[in-house]
């Protein structure tokens, strides 16, 4: 006799169990982003219609194993060549550089540098450089 009662109670609570998580779960709170542990130095030499640029990434935190730098140029830019990294261009303004196998690790207190040449009507430096998603 107790078995049917137990099944009845379980069956009666099932709709509550399914509804409860949707009602009772608090919104997800994301942790604040850690302070930047890398610093970037962007330098360039310009000429009419183009420039050559270097980006030096210095690590002030724990060793980094793999890096990706992203930035947006203020004017349309065409990548003509890159060294010490691979580079892709999502559109005429947005560029992404990624480590090569031999310079993927940036130990604490160390730096890596890569460079590129480009054609562009203007040669202003980008203001939004990030490394692994963290502004530097």
State residue 100's pLDDT score.
Answer: 99
Query: Would you state the structure tokens that stand for residue 26, as one six-digit string?
Result: 């608090």
E runs forming strands in 12-76: 38-47, 50-59, 64-65, 68-72
The number of angstroms, rounded, from the C-alpha of 18 to the middle of its chain's C-alpha atoms is: 37
State residue 28's pLDDT score.
Answer: 32
Dist. CA 44–CA 90, nearest whole Å: 21
Q: Which long-range contacts (CB under 8 A, 24 or more apart) does 73-78 make?
A: 73/120, 73/124, 73/126, 74/122, 74/124, 74/126, 74/127, 75/120, 75/121, 75/122, 75/124, 76/120, 76/121, 77/118, 77/119, 77/120, 78/118, 78/119, 78/120
State residue 36's pLDDT score.
Answer: 64
Question: In terms of Cα–Cα distance, which of 98, 49, 99 is closest to 78?
Answer: 49
Query: Would you state the structure tokens that stand for residue 73, as one six-digit string?
Result: 């140029």
Q: Which domains does the chain have, with CATH numbers?
A: 38-135 (2.60.40.290)
pLDDT tens, per residue, the chain with 136 residues: 444 433 333 333 334 333 333 333 333 333 334 456 899 999 999 999 999 999 999 999 999 999 999 999 999 999 999 999 999 999 999 999 999 999 999 999 999 999 999 999 888 889 899 999 999 8
């Amino acid at each position: 006799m107790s078995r049917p009662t137990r099944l009845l109670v379980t069956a009666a609570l099932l709709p509550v169990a399914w509804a409860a998580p949707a009602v009772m779960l608090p919104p997800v709170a994301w942790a604040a982003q850690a302070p930047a542990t890398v610093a970037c130095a962007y330098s360039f030499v310009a000429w009419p219609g183009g420039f050559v640029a270097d980006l030096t990434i210095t690590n002030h935190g724990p060793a980094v194993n793999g890096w990706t730098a992203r930035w947006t140029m203020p004017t349309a830019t065409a990548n003509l060549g890159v060294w010490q990294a691979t580079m892709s261009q999502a559109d005429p303004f947005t560029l992404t550089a990624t480590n090569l196998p031999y310079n993927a690790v940036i130990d604490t207190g160390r730096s890596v540098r890569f460079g590129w040449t480009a054609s562009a009507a203007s040669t202003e430096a980008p203001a939004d450089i990030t490394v692994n998603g963290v502004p530097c």
